[in-house]
Structure 1
Amino acid sequence: MDFRQLLVAVLLAISPEFTPVRCQLACNANGLASRQKRLVVRSPASGDLAKLDSCQYRVAPWSGQVCQVRVDFERLELPQLQLNATSGLLECVDFLQLQRFRICGRNSGQHLYLPIRRGQELQLLFRLATPLGKQSTWQLTLTQLECPLDSSSLSIRQPEVIQPTVRPILPFLGNFLPRTIFSGQSGLGSGSGPAAQFIKTLTSPSMADLEMLAPLGCDQYFRTETGGIVSFNFAGGTYMPNMRYSICVRGTADSEISYKIDHFALSKANAEQSGPAYDTDCRSTVVTPLRVSDYLSIPNSYMVGQTNLQATYYCGNGLAGRELIGRPPFVLRFASDSQSSASETGFQLTYSVRRSSQDSPVTPEL
């Protein structure tokens, strides 16, 4: 094996595209930020957790092209919402804080996409304020996703121009690389030879990253043709107040999506009337104190067997067992107000993406 073959083999070995990294990050690890493409954070052992009032993790960007972090809640068991005696409202006392999201309760199997600006660290804060909080358990997988320089084709626009960054070890290796083979006058990877082109591939997002990137504004992104979606803390029985997030499903312009509702219980303005409610029953256009504003928005949708009903906002408790058909864009938006009750248990549905039928009664909004 000559020098070039040996060096290419070394580069393959250290490249994250060929070597998945699953580093385990310890709680409050000396206040240092971990810099890994993919890592796992786990709750401390019960004896250590009992001594903590909080548990914080800091994650540094893997490269200058990181634009999103996908957080998979493989296991997340925190205490449930508690009643604030002063305000009379339910709130998270023990929680996980992830950017604007404050999460408590049982959320294993959920995920979130978090946007990251150039050079921005991601911080995860577990607040353990009560004895129940010190019995929490979690295991989260964080995957840093890199955007291409020109991300317009992905419908993902960066807040600022991001320059490509060579993986941290490559500049060190560059001191030993023959410039006539691997580089041009501008430095490592700037030549036109095959090895230089290979070096350039290490500074670009992998195909796996491009596949996983969520469209702009999507807090959750489901990439399979079929799947299930549930509200946060559905297993715990009550969704969290003051929460707003967008749920996106991958599809094409010539497809439609079937949502089969297994469970649906959101508050509504006319609570004395049973059954489902729509639009102004769910989201008043006039802002008033303590207005009811819990809803699941499904744009460009209609109800199977009742095609004359083409609502956008859904709430109430009578949708279970019904099927909705939606057209692009495949974006669901969930919102909850500051008020909560035991009857606000959330939603559970399954979806299926399929070819659009010719006689769909929905006209896409412009």
Structure 2
Amino acid sequence: MIVVNPKSCNATGGQTGACLPIFTCATKFAGTVKGKCSLGLGECCVFERSCGGESAGRVTYFSSSASDATTAPACSLTLTKATNTCQLRVEMPTLELAEPNAEGLCEQQYLEVTGAGGAEPLKICGKNSGQHLVVDTRGAAGPFTVSVINSQANPGTSWNLEVEQVACDSPNLAPTGCDQYYLEASGSVKSFNYDTAAATPTQPDGNPGSRHLQESYTICVKEGGSGSCGLEWTPAAGEDYAFTLTGYLIPDPLIPLPIFRTATDGLCPFTDHLVIPEGLVRGEANPSTVFCGSLFPEAVTSPSYRVTVVANNGEVADNDIDNRGFHLLYNQRSC
């Protein structure tokens, strides 16, 4: 007797579904059959939802396909907690929402995940296709809600999210305290809403506002095993704004200092910054922890697999003009 695997299957179109007995996908679980599984004895059932949808699936796809998705006060997906679930991982193949205001605050439209308890949920808005978010659900019974909040109509915005309930024994379970978890040995990390173009909202002086969201969160990278002893961080090549967290970035003849400049530790007043534990700048003898300013060093090595983003909600007060966040590359360091 062949047992149908209820956990996962590869559906057509690259999606992930649940392998269920024939004739149960649509009638019992409101899913869509997208292929066969278990030697043809099961159906690969994909759960696709929009506003008001509910799911208990291990993987659910949540999109803006509903006619009122961008005009209703909230478009929400409600998840019943699956057995042995410790985290939600929200992949964002498409997430194009309204921009934050000039202070970098999400007000007009944003994504949030609630029901997991703990700290105030992150609010994510703007251009975030290709990003992801991890939410710890240990100790929470659910249900969990993934919502896009609209304080006004937002035509032209859209999203298509893949929401996975990550099992407690999954090799891809993020360490406690991680809001993002990168699984590859090397890769690219962008702050939420990072883009090379200036923001549309403007500051009181008429200059571009901040793209850098005023949200604090922790980025983690999966450790590479016994041969890995930390990470090396470098700025993305060819992007002038690849690290712009603080500073007035509009050319001004009255300001003699370079527009793009680096600052660390004591040179950083309390303003937006990154915390890179024991971060050693290439060519320097002593490590630093706090990195701010508008120019990332050539390279920074750290024994840690975490970087914390700290925002202080004071872009105008700090005279932070035209800041766009960061785009950094990481590589595992060999021991």
User: What is the TM-score when the length of structure 2 is the normalising length?
Assistant: 0.72
Partner of 1:104: 125
Partner of 2:293: 316
Contact 2:111–2:146 (Cα < 8 Å) also in 1: yes
- Which AA in structure 2 matches 1:248? C
Contact 2:50–2:76 (Cα < 8 Å) also in 1: no
Return closer, same or farther for 1:261/1:48 CA change in 2, 3 Å cut-off.
Answer: same
1:298 to partner: Cα distance = 0.9
Choose the corresponding residue for 1:246, options 213, 218, 236. 218
> Please, which runs of 5 or more residues in structure 2 have no aligned partner?
11-15, 18-45, 115-120, 199-210, 237-241
Q: How does 1:9-48 map to 2 (within 5 A)?
A: 9=2, 11=3, 13-17=4-8, 20-21=16-17, 22-29=46-53, 33-45=54-66, 47-48=67-68
Rounded to whole Å, the distance in 1 between the matches of 2:291 and 2:71 is 44
1:257 to partner: Cα distance = 1.8
1:309 to partner: Cα distance = 4.3
1:220 to partner: Cα distance = 0.8
Contact 2:50–2:75 (Cα < 8 Å) also in 1: no
Q: How does 1:1-366 map to 2 (within 5 A)?
A: 6=1, 9=2, 11=3, 13-17=4-8, 20-21=16-17, 22-29=46-53, 33-45=54-66, 47-49=67-69, 51-63=71-83, 65-83=84-102, 89-93=103-107, 94-99=109-114, 100-116=121-137, 117-131=139-153, 133-147=154-168, 205=169, 210-235=170-195, 237=198, 238-241=211-214, 243-251=215-223, 252=225, 254-262=228-236, 263-267=242-246, 274=258, 275-282=261-268, 284=269, 292-304=270-282, 306-319=283-296, 322-327=298-303, 329-340=304-315, 341-356=320-335
Return closer, same or farther for 1:145/1:51 CA change in 2, 3 Å cut-off.
Answer: closer
Rounded to whole Å, the distance in 2 between the matches of 1:51 and 1:111 is 24
User: What is the TM-score when the length of structure 1 is the normalising length?
Assistant: 0.66
- Where 1:255 maps in the other structure, the secondary structure is strand
Aligned length: 262
- Which AA in structure 2 matches 1:24? E
Sequence identity percentage: 23
Contact 1:234–1:345 (Cα < 8 Å) also in 2: yes
| Max Rg structure | 1
1:123 to partner: Cα distance = 0.8
Q: Which structure has more strand as a fraction of its residues?
A: 2
Over residues 64-119 of structure 1, what are the superposed CA-to-partner deviations in whole Å (9 max), with x where a residue is unaligned? x2110111011000111125xxxxx4521211122411111000111111011342
4+ aligned runs moved over 3 Å, structure 1: 17-20, 47-51, 271-274
- Which AA in structure 2 matches 1:112? L
Rounded to whole Å, the distance in 2 between the matches of 1:216 and 1:353 is 20
> Please, which runs of 5 or more residues in structure 1 have no aligned partner?
1-5, 84-88, 148-204, 285-291, 357-366
- Where 1:119 maps in the other structure, the secondary structure is coil
